[in-house]
Every structure is written in structure tokens, then in C-alpha cells.
A and B are shown apart, each in its own frame.
Chain A
């Protein structure tokens, strides 16, 4: 079906894997709500055939927490981007994860603010040129793994739009996790970031991610910058 995403966009991949996993887990319409933020990934909520919410910028997590607290029989999934979740939404990420609310948060991490043309994000790497860092970003990116794992009880997964089987595994475990589960999905934006950086297609960016990241099935303590895997701590709730 036609979506608003650009040809070569990686959001569709994550959307499909989520839909697939939900179907495999037999999670039906009456048991589910998807909440999204503002950004290209924000349009995903409307494409699910369930009750969904497309809220304000950065506030998908508090809306989702409100939904979950309002009716804890619902599986509540947040589907949003790195800018929305860690930039403007950073405060809510900190506190909802600290309160360990039973949510699954899927972060489409493309290291850019894509929707608005390609401005730098909290996750943009040092040196990258964007519309608001034309001379190259001088700030260290936000440490999503650090923020999530700073909580005693935590679930941080990093996957990518290339390692699809791994992504499905992360999604399933995150939904089953009885607490705040965060999935950092390494993605890419070809139209408003990749092209400016010299990539010729979405596929090239996908191949780049494939080379850059390896799955570590039994990480100790923390994931290295080029590793994909799951870090969780099931200390008493």
C-alpha cells in the first residue's frame, strides 16, 4: 500500500517487522495500541489497523504511559524516531524508563531529523555535516544505551534494518519484557541525510550498516559501538 515514506526509506522495514512479530505473537487489535511521535516514523501509527495515537513532538512516551496506566491490559508500543525520543522527548525517556512503565519503545535511529530536511539530531555522529551543522557536528552523540541501562531494571536492545531476524527477536523479547523496553534500531535516511553525505541510494546505506554492525549474542555489561544485541537486567521490581 502506498505510504508517505520515500523510496529507499528504512522505516517501512521496521514497520513490517513489528507487524509481523505482532501477528506471530497473536496480539490482536483489542489488546494493542501504537503511539507515535512527530517525524517520518510518526506516520507509522496511522498505518496499523488498531486504535493508535499520533501525538505531539517528543511526547509519545508520556502519552503511552498514560494509556498503559489507564488500561494495563493493553500492549502499548511506542514507534518513534531518535530526534523525537532523545531530543525533545529526552526528559520523558529518562523518567518513564526510571519509573519502569511496561512499554515497548521502538526507536528508528537514523541519526538525523529527516522530516524537516536533515538537521542534526542528538544521535548525529561527530563530524557529520547536516543543515544545522554545515561545518560538521562538534558534539558527541547522546548515549541511548547509557540512559536506559542507568536504571536498575532495564532492557536495551540494539538492532538494525539489515539484521531482520535479529530485529524480530528484539521486538518479541521487548514486548514480553515486564517493564520499560527500548529498542534502538539502526536505520538510515537517504533523501535528507544520505544523499548529502554522498550515498547514492538507500541500499548503499543499508550495506554500509551491514558492514558496520555485528550481532553479539552474549554481550557482557555493555554493547560496543559497533555491536547489536540485548542488554537487560532483571533485578527485582
Chain B
């Protein structure tokens, strides 16, 4: 049955569908609706309005270890606060999903205007070498679908998966029939606390014993960790490619930007990554071969353009749209 649903709400619904039963967060524009919606589900899930973003992320880490599928949501400033804990979750192999409904930064920025300025933060925000999986939908239906897939990917990779949205998408209302969407729900892959003698620590460790001076072991651990994430991510190679056979230019966009530029498919080809990280190198390599120009249109100063350039090892152009406003006419002008 079709219903009018908001992006933020769809994320919450998808998460619930995936079996999420513990949610902790802190209010922040433009993500608060996720909290409000889930607060009303207090009879179905454990809901915590925590004292801050840092408490939120640690609460969900604890609850995930205790056996629950968990979710937390925030925007840029809160995402910055969570970085240390994200590293902890990677080191301790804890499945969880973090939603970042992006707004214009840096700092308090423009709380009510959307942006894609936290893309590189999603990839590199925490300290040290780590390899996060990041998804970014572009419709209300996809918010539902990829919230479920984010939980699935987090279980398979045993890592915190980031679901990016932007302020536009979070507040976008569309009529959708969620009943039509059928996705397999992956079960929990982490045995809950109380089952053994495991030690979960942020320190480099082997079988729960900290090994903080063994560089050879670190390399062994890192390569296993990297492979585990990469192997899991392989099952989630999500993207959309709209080919315009006459075009010599490939436009790359994601999130709300990709919705706005859709009419341009009559003139250009469009590649839309849904899994932003790991970068879809194989697909991009194959698809981009025949194009003379590749232009990444994004609501930031060329963040994903840099990643694509690195991956393809060729010149990629950037069209930054800054300040929270997004107009098709402006994009068309710049493309001429």
C-alpha cells in the first residue's frame, strides 16, 4: 500500500525491518525525525535519548556486543564527535549502523541546508588506517532499502557501516509502497556477551590478548581485517548507470544531486554510486573507458572527485555546488 513517507522515517522503518532493536541518539537538525519516529516505538525497541553523541555511539557499541542490532543517527557535528568510537568499533569488530544526515559545515555551519561535505569524513574521519563501508541512497524508497542493506553489510563485515543522507533527502517526502521491497535480512554474526571468555579491546590484540609491541602481528592483523571488509563489501556493489550512447561526457553524482541532474540523461551519461566506499573501482574503470570527460557534481568542494581520480588514475573534473543550494539550471550552465 502506498504511503507518503519522509526520508528520515524510511531509514528508521528500514532499520526496524532489518531487526534493529536498540537505538541511541542525540537530537540534531536535520536528523532528529529519525529519533522522534523511533521514540514512538518504545514498546518495540530499546530507545535512549542520550546525553551526547559520544554516549550514543558507545551505547550502541555496548548494546551490539550484548546481542542487539543497533542504530544511531546524527549530522556533521555529531559525526565528528563519534570518530574515536568508530575506530573502536572497527578494532573490536562490532556490527552497527550510523546514519549521517549531512548539513553544510564546517562546524555549526548552516544547520538547515543540505550538503555532501562529510563524504571524506565517512571514509577517513577516524584516526589510523581503516576501511569503512559507506552507502548513500537517493530516494525515500532507497533510504528504506539501504538502511536494511547497511545492517546486512555491518553483520557480514562485522564493522560499523555508515549510511549517508543529506538534509534534502532526509526531509523529502515521497509516496512509496514499502511492502513491495523484499530483501533478505542477514542474521547476527556476533555471539552476544556472556557466551565466552572473549576480550573486546581497542588495543591491537590476538585472541583477546593485547599485543602492543608486535609490528609483524599488526601487519598480519591489518591484512586480514582489510580482506574481511573487502570480501563483505563485494556483496554490496550498489550503483546505477544511465548510459547515453551519444555522450562523450560522464557525469557522476550521488544522493540528492543525482535526483536533480536526472533530466540531463538526455544529453549525458550518468553514473551514480550508491556504495561510496570502498570505491567501486572495477565498475568505474570499465564504464569510464569510453568517455573523454568525467565530471563529478557534488555538494562539496570536490571530495568524491578526488577519490575517483585516485581510483581511475586519470584526470577527473569537479563541479562543486556549495552553500546548500542546488539548481539544475546552474548545473546546466556550468556544463556548457
On whether A62 and B201 interact (CB within 8 A), knowing A32-B194, A67-B65, the answer reads: no
Q: Tell me the smallest distance from the CB of A63 to a CB of chain B, in Å.
A: 4
Q: Say yes or no: A29 contacts B59, CB within 8 Å.
A: no
- Give the chain A neighbours of B55 by CB distance below 8 A: 59, 62, 91-92, 95
Interface status of A46 (Cβ within 8 A of chain B)? yes
Q: Say yes or no: B51 contacts A69, CB within 8 Å.
A: no
Q: Say yes or no: B60 contacts A53, CB within 8 Å.
A: no
Interface status of B192 (Cβ within 8 A of chain A)? yes
- Please report which residues of chain B, range 1-53, place their CB below 8 angstroms from some CB of chain A when the two chains form the complex: 22, 24, 46, 48, 50-52
Q: Say yes or no: A54 contacts B203, CB within 8 Å.
A: yes
Interface status of A123 (Cβ within 8 A of chain B)? no
Among the listed B62, B84, B209, which residue makes an inter-chain contact with A67, where contact means beta carbons less than 8 Å apart?
B62
Q: Tell me the smallest distance from the CB of A80 to a CB of chain B, in Å.
A: 13
Q: Say yes or no: B194 contacts A29, CB within 8 Å.
A: yes
Interface status of A33 (Cβ within 8 A of chain B)? yes
The answer for the CA separation of A71 and B191 in the assembled complex, in Å, is: 13
The answer for the CA separation of A171 and B199 in the assembled complex, in Å, is: 22
The answer for the CA separation of A59 and B82 in the assembled complex, in Å, is: 12
- Please report which residues of chain A, range 185-234, place their CB below 8 angstroms from some CB of chain B when the two chains form the complex: none
Which single residue of chain A is at the shortest CB-CB distance from B201? A54
- Please report which residues of chain A, range 117-165, place their CB below 8 angstroms from some CB of chain B when the two chains form the complex: none
Which single residue of chain B is at the shortest CB-CB distance from A66? B62
Interface of A, secondary structure class, is helix
Q: Say yes or no: B192 contacts A71, CB within 8 Å.
A: yes
Interface status of A8 (Cβ within 8 A of chain B)? no
- Give the chain A neighbours of B125 by CB distance below 8 A: none
Q: How many A-B residue pairs have CB under 8 A?
A: 127
Of the four ranges (under 10, 10 to 19, 20 to 34, 35 or more), the interface on chain B belongs to 35 or more
The answer for the CA separation of A43 and B59 in the assembled complex, in Å, is: 21
On whether A63 and B62 interact (CB within 8 A), knowing A46-B210, A70-B22, the answer reads: yes
Q: Tell me the smallest distance from the CB of A69 to a CB of chain B, in Å.
A: 5
The answer for the CA separation of A70 and B24 in the assembled complex, in Å, is: 11
Q: Say yes or no: B58 contacts A69, CB within 8 Å.
A: no
The answer for the CA separation of A63 and B50 in the assembled complex, in Å, is: 12
The answer for the CA separation of A46 and B92 in the assembled complex, in Å, is: 13
The answer for the CA separation of A31 and B195 in the assembled complex, in Å, is: 9
Which single residue of chain B is at the shortest CB-CB distance from A45? B199
The answer for the CA separation of A30 and B67 in the assembled complex, in Å, is: 13
Interface status of A74 (Cβ within 8 A of chain B)? yes
Choose among A31, A53, A92 the residue with the greatest number of B CB atoms under 10 Å from its CB.
A53
- Give the chain B neighbours of A31 by CB distance below 8 A: 194
- Give the chain A neighbours of B287 by CB distance below 8 A: none
- Please report which residues of chain A, range 55-107, place their CB below 8 angstroms from some CB of chain B when the two chains form the complex: 55-56, 59, 62-71, 73-74, 91-92, 94-95
- Give the chain B neighbours of A62 by CB distance below 8 A: 50, 54-55, 58-59, 62
- Give the chain A neighbours of B67 by CB distance below 8 A: 70-71
The answer for the CA separation of A43 and B48 in the assembled complex, in Å, is: 29
Interface status of A6 (Cβ within 8 A of chain B)? no
Q: Say yes or no: B85 contacts A56, CB within 8 Å.
A: yes
Q: Say yes or no: B59 contacts A69, CB within 8 Å.
A: yes
- Please report which residues of chain B, range 282-328, place their CB below 8 angstroms from some CB of chain A when the two chains form the complex: none
Choose among A45, A55, A70, A73 the residue with the greatest number of B CB atoms under 10 Å from its CB.
A70
Please list the 9 inter-chain residue pairs (A to B) with the smallest Cβ-Cβ separation, ordered nearest first.
A66-B62, A70-B66, A70-B63, A62-B58, A54-B201, A66-B59, A95-B51, A63-B62, A67-B62
Query: A53-B62, A62-B50, A70-B65 given. 16 additional CB < 8 A pairs?
Result: A45-B201, A46-B201, A50-B197, A54-B203, A55-B58, A56-B58, A56-B202, A66-B22, A66-B61, A66-B65, A67-B193, A69-B66, A70-B68, A74-B66, A92-B51, A95-B55
